[in-house]
Structure 1
């Protein structure tokens, strides 16, 4: 039996509207899950129209899944161009609280499980550190390849981050007025000039401080307890979500129930998953997606820390 799908719109202001795809079981409606993609991406990393992906997997288990397109991405409007002025501060302070409130309203004010891919995890943890009143409304966190600073040193980091992201793409972004990642075939979606600049600062191991108002997320993490969080890292992810950087992000997010779990052959999996395949590989549903079910049900002890 196919899952039910519904397209929702979440207005943020007079200009911007976010797209929210709802995917749920045809007969059961269980706990809500909100999914947030990373940068140069959109919500399609979590689902296909043919019923594949993590969102459909969880919906078949009875979860009520909501997949967001962040501002200007995917089917959110308007699309990012040189006139777009928002950045990650607006995503943290406006987009995520609005998406969470919408999911809560539609699911009867139940606690929501938050899930992310890549930089989406930084946005989620940052939102909770800035707005700790939301923590009791979040049942758990699951982050796929989430890292904030890129401190690993290898040739991939030198080319992809130091050369391409920090230098080449920064030059293109300043010249064009936004990062045309789709046209350059560097990602699934574009980024604003402000977002690129803000991420560039944080990824260079700068302090976890907001460039707009100076809010210190790192300081907040030292006295804030986040919901139970599962940090999944891929063995074949040399710089965009290297396991060292994933673990560092977990540690700097403060004391909370958490696991860093590595997905690779040396930890018992069939494949050395990479930054994308840990979400999209056909075997994921039979392998590590099963861990998510334990985590979502609160069986944290059944998910080992193996890195």
Structure 2
């Protein structure tokens, strides 16, 4: 079975910048289209390797056509984040994701049928639903790996990674460098702009889901919406960034519709105690959460 990977640069309003899409598919199959979105201090490589390991190649082997997005300045999007770049998550919601949806629609004649996210990517995608509720009609189902908005847990690891590092130390490094060099700091796989860090830090605290640019109230908008059926995935070893309580609160503020939370670990009959990153990178995930996501998509296949 041949899995093919192609890199596509999607132009955006800024003629000096473009968004990278990794198109992963089996050329012999024309199955449903999937959009995958990474989280903060990450890029799309959380979903794939060049040797066809990971979630996107797994779905491609089942016939799905997967598009993995690198948000602006991350991964292979150009140019990379640097001092002076003034865009943030508002632009991700209102410009970048919509640009990619339009590109896929023009090139393939249909919008993605399934949306997948890791961590903060789920917040971005549900924010897109809030701003552009017509998109709900195009999406059959979603799967979110470790996605939460506000952190409600009080685990000591959360106090270190969120309260100390994200809410305090990060501000020091942002001021020093003009952006957050998270990869250099070994905090994650990619950088964040001043604005994207500030906006995500604001929402990660227990506070209203409101845009700092124009005061758009995402929480209020979602109250009246029924989102696509969404499978939420938690790992028992994810103590800091997406405990079940954090995910459950995200589910409660994400409107109506079918939502299900699965927790993955040995005490639940799985083969590994998954954490925030290896819920997508561990080889055993193919038999555990990847298989469950595939079944979820097949349940909502029309």
Report whether the alignment pairs 1:95 with 2:73: no
Deviation digits for residues 165-198 of structure 1 (CA, Å, limit 9, x no counterpart): 1111111112221001111111110000001100
The answer as to whether partners of 2:151 and 2:206 remain within 8 angstroms in 1 is: yes
Secondary structure of the corresponding residue to residue 103 of structure 2: helix
Structure 1: gaps (5+ residues): 301-307
Q: 1:213: Cα distance to partner?
A: 0.2
2:126 equivalent in structure 1: 125
TM-score, normalised on structure 2?
0.97
Deviation digits for residues 72-100 of structure 1 (CA, Å, limit 9, x no counterpart): 00100111011210000000000011112
Deviation digits for residues 222-267 of structure 1 (CA, Å, limit 9, x no counterpart): 1011111111111110111111101110111011111011111222
List aligned pairs for 1:1-307, cutoff 5 A.
1-13=1-13, 14-298=15-299
Secondary structure of the corresponding residue to residue 299 of structure 2: coil
1:305 equivalent in structure 2: none
Secondary structure of the corresponding residue to residue 8 of structure 2: strand
How many residues are paired up?
300
2-structure distance, mates of 1:171, 1:93: 28
Q: 1:31: Cα distance to partner?
A: 0.4
Secondary structure of the corresponding residue to residue 297 of structure 1: helix
Q: 1:110: Cα distance to partner?
A: 4.9
2-structure distance, mates of 1:94, 1:85: 14
The answer as to whether partners of 1:34 and 1:103 remain within 8 angstroms in 2 is: no
Taking a change above 3 Å as real, the CA distance of residues 111 and 157 of structure 1, as seen in their structure-2 partners, is: closer
Deviation digits for residues 10-34 of structure 1 (CA, Å, limit 9, x no counterpart): 1112232000010111311200000
Q: 1:108: Cα distance to partner?
A: 2.3
Q: 1:157: Cα distance to partner?
A: 1.2
Structure 2: gaps (5+ residues): none
Q: 1:287: Cα distance to partner?
A: 1.7
Secondary structure of the corresponding residue to residue 283 of structure 2: coil
Aligned-residue CA RMSD (Å): 1.2
1-structure distance, mates of 2:300, 2:272: 25
More divergent stretch after superposition (210-219 vs 233-242): 233-242
